Amino acid sequence: MTVHNIRHGDASDGALAEAVGGRLSRVDGPAKITGAAKYAVEQQLEGLAYAVLVESTIASGKVRAIDTAQAEAAPGVLKVLTPDTIISLRTASDWFGTPPPDKPYCPLARDITFSGQHVAAVVAETFEQAVTAAALVKVSYDETPAIVDLSDGKAGDGIPIDAMTKEWGDAPAAFAAAPVRICAAYNTPREYQAPMEPHGLIARWEGDQLTVWEPSQWLDGMARTYAEWFEVPFENVRLVSPYIGGGFGSKALALSHGAVAASAAKMLGRPVKLVMTRPQTFTGYGGRAATRQTVTIGADHDGVIQSIVHRGVNETSIDGMWVEPLGSVTSIMYATPNFSSKQNVVRVNSVVPGAMRAPGENPSAFGIESAIDELAYEVGIDPLEIRLRNYAEQDPHAKKAWSTRQLREAFAAGAERFGWARRSPKPRSMRDGNQLIGWGVAAGTYPVRRAYGEAIVRILADGSVEVESSSIDMGQGTYTILAQTAAETVGVPADNVVVKLGDSRFPRAGVTGGSRLAGVMTGAVYKAATSALDQLVGLAISDPRSPFHALQANTLVVANGRIGSPRGDGPDVTIAELLKSVGRDCIEATGDTMPANSTAEDRYKNYTTIAMALPHTEGDYSRHSWCAHFIEVRVDEDFGTVRVSRVVSALDSGRLYNPKLAESQWKGGIIMGIGQALLEEGIMDRRHGRIVNNNLADYLVPTNADIPDIDVISVGIPDLHSSVLGGKGVGELAIVGVAPAIANAVFHATGKRVRDLPITLEKLI
């Protein structure tokens, strides 16, 4: 459980920082900077034991034998877990809540389908003893040939995913008839979320009650999985996730290491801590799947698109299914009378890939936003102009009006700030000494995912306000915007609001993923706070002990923690004084964004699965966030090194609940996009089917030195079709389109089109 007392931010926050839409600084910032913030695995528990994982060193085959004798004899060892000795669990449902097959689940593998799979674990009195003993576990294997990646000859064409097919018109015929045709293949490698805080947990059993301290993007969903694994009621599992050191999609699900730790805790009757090593974070769960796309565009000589034919492939694991929707941006970004997109999924010997910032939209945009740039050069039209000529006035796929689409405004605002009009159109025509300069543009989009949330708002005897929700803050600012929402709605200063998050005992919330949480939770808090305010005013008017009783007013005004009459002619008291006079020590109200008449079963599904989320095209509108990135690169003509020297991005996330936090998230997405474009790639030893750069010295993410000043411009307007208070998604949007904008800028600088990420120097020298 985490409590924050709001403190006023710095002077840059501005006078109206505390209201919704104000630039209040992050209220959890001081605790994190000073080290006072206690993360999940930093809990100090009596009797804590330490578990360390043993991983497979082959990519495909079977475990022949595990020799644990030496490990068991090592000092301090409490237990060596293998598939033969670990307790049996039940298979849990997936995140759609699909009923699972009725069979046991073992988080330690006998059948090896990827290198780095968990095969055993050692639990000891100290972490060091567990590490030492884990190295003494001897595993022998019967190895079989692995399918190492998409280019493996054994990989085949994969499995068609019919649900991904999107078609209208006659795309192949229109392409064949088009006077201008381009066709190219675009590839993205395995990429990893690389959060600062590695995955880990502490599990503790008390009877059949399980408490898990674990960084989590989805407390209720993970609690469901633990409950199903261990066959205990959902209510018996408590997830606690006070702070999260970055997730980027990777911390939404309970994973096999969690099952190992909770099993060990149950077997030993002691709390057990298990934290992955950094190398284990590259195989303990999935990063972004490697993808391949071909994009063919048929157009007329004016660059007006007649047809788009798109084919995509992503990798998945041998026994798991991950679909990275590669046609998601392709199908909505541009108007075209003819369209076809299909996708296959190919099984390889990898951990099942997972969600990573803007799954689907991110690689999809790399394909279509590179391809339209190629079309622009083919027909000799400015890359910005060709985007405007093919502007989609409505959703070309759903055939519905956009709820809001400020993309034209984004192009205009970004181009103006960047100075796009001064661009010299020819490749290799701008330089500064040895540096070839290139300017590129690309658009991005992310759908507005809508789900449900609950909150309790309490007005306490001292006049302060308390907010509780099982939603989480992984750095995006939930604590802060919920404080702002409650403060504005009730009418108290923000530093009189305490927000508590990250405990599954609180009112529920769905997954913090798909950029949905802010819209959902501000709505729930707004409703709860409105209800609490109504109760407060009702009491003040109707309670015979209230100083306002004699006033016979219809309503009262609450502002800055005080209650008065609208005309200011009656009493004026603090909330605390009023509550004291009527003999109440608390007013409590719950609020949620669920449909009326939701049943208990609906509620359980809403918060423990993603099956109930509303489609972004539900009803009359198609709802998306939009952005346009304008990027300058400098490419050294001798060395091939690409440096991003300028970024101007204009973004439409609807109404911003806190512009300072939204801008930070946008910049974070852009930085991650720069890493994706220039640095990030899981590098495979094809003989071993193993990623060899499984650490942060060899898997490169950007440093401060790689990032220029980033200029972000908000062009959004409130979109009440998207959320209660008018916001759209923020967190994932900004990464979408960064990689193609950089690739397009590199082409403009060098005349070389790089269609395989990352754009490393050897591709340009």
Min. distance of Cβ 75 from another protein in angstroms? 8
Position of tokens 């449900």? Answer: 452
One DSSP character per residue, 208-229 reads: TEEEEE---S-HHHHHHHHHHH
Least separation in angstroms between residue 688's CB and another protein is 7
If the CB atoms of residues 620 and 762 are measured against another protein, the closer one turns out to be 762
Percent helix / strand / coil, the chain, rounded to 5 = 30, 25, 45
Give me 745's structure tokens: 């800028």
The nearest distance, CB 133 to another protein, in angstroms, is 10
Nearest-angstrom CA–CA distance, 327 and 323: 11
Query: Cα angle at 255 between 253 and 258, to 5 degrees?
Result: 115
Nearer to another protein, 62 or 562 (CB): 62
Rounded to a whole number of angstroms, the minimum distance from the CB of residue 698 to another protein is 6
Residue 461: C-alpha distances to residues 188, 367, 621 (Å) = 57, 57, 44
Query: Is the CB of 497 or the CB of 633 nearer to another protein?
Result: 633
| HSE of 218, CA atoms in CB hemisphere, 13 A | 28
Minimum Å gap between C-beta 668 and another protein is 17
Q: Per residue in 412-442, is it b (16+ CB within 10 Å) or e — as a string?
A: bbbbeebebeebeeebbebeeeebbbbbbbb
464's CB contacts (< 8 A; 6+ apart) are 492, 496, 497, 498
Q: Which is nearer to another protein, 616 or 634 (CB)?
A: 634
Overall residue count recorded for the chain in this entry: 765
Q: How far is the CB of 705 from another protein (least distance, A)?
A: 4
Task: Report, in Å, the least distance between residue 131 CB and another protein.
Answer: 6
HEC-encoded secondary structure of 233-291: CHHHEEEECCCCCCCCCCCCCCCHHHHHHHHHHHHHCCCEEEECCCHHHHCCCCCECCE
Question: Is residue 562 helix, strand or coil?
Answer: strand
Residue 85 or 641 with smaller CB distance to another protein: 641
User: Which residues, other chains included, contact 14 with Cβ-Cβ below 8 Å and sequence gap of 6+?
Assistant: 22, 23
Minimal distance, residue 192 CB to another protein, in Å: 15
Choose among 25, 33, 34, 32: nearest CA to 7: 25
By the 8 A CB rule, do 737 and 628 touch?
yes
Query: What's the closest the beta carbon of residue 117 comes to another protein, in angstroms?
Result: 12
Residue closer to another protein, measured from CB, 107 or 116: 116
Q: Which is nearer to another protein, 470 or 693 (CB)?
A: 693
Chain residues in the site for another protein (CB under 8 A): 55, 57, 115, 128, 131-132, 135, 279, 434, 636, 638-641, 643, 678-679, 683-685, 687-688, 690, 692-693, 697-698, 700, 702-706, 760-762, 765
Q: Please identify, using beta-carbon distances, which residue of 684 and 725 lies nearer to another protein.
A: 684
CB of 126 to another protein, least distance (A): 11
Smallest gap from Cβ 635 to another protein, in A, equals 13
Distance CA 643, CA 749 (A): 11
Q: Is 732 a catalytic residue?
A: yes
Q: How many CB atoms lie within 10 A of CB 183?
A: 13
Which C-beta is closer to another protein: that of 640 or that of 751? 640
Instruction: Write the DSSP assignment of 632-669 as a string of letters.
Output: EEEEETTT--EEEEEEEEEEE-BS-S-HHHHHHHHHHH
**Identity of residue 164:** M
CB of 695 to another protein, least distance (A): 8
Please identify, using beta-carbon distances, which residue of 25 and 129 lies nearer to another protein: 129
In sequence order, the β-bridge partners of residue 346 are 315
* Backbone CA torsion sign across 25, 241, 38, 196: negative
Catalytic residue among 468, 488, 732, 762: 732
Sheet with strand 435-447: strands edge to edge? 431-432, 435-447, 624-636, 642-652, 710-714
* Distance separating alpha carbons of residues 264 and 295, to the nearest angstrom: 49
The span from the CA of 392 to the CA of 28, in Å, is 41
Do 210 and 204 contact (CB within 8 A), yes or no?
Answer: yes
Residue 421 or 697: the one with the smaller Cβ distance to another protein is: 697
CA distances from residue 590 to 459, 496, 531, 626, 727 in whole angstroms, order as listed: 12, 19, 8, 33, 22
471, two tokens: 């939603």
User: Given phi > 0 = left and psi -120 to 50 = alpha, else beta, which region is 498?
Assistant: beta
Contact 116, 33 (CB under 8 A): no
The residue type at 762: E
Q: How far apart are CA 744 and CA 164, in angstroms?
A: 27
Q: Which residues contact 324 (CB under 8 A, 6 or more apart)?
A: 288, 289, 291, 314, 353, 359, 360, 363
Nearest-CA neighbor of 267 among 139, 123, 53, 130?
A: 123
Q: Which is nearer to another protein, 132 or 593 (CB)?
A: 132
Residues with a known catalytic role: 732
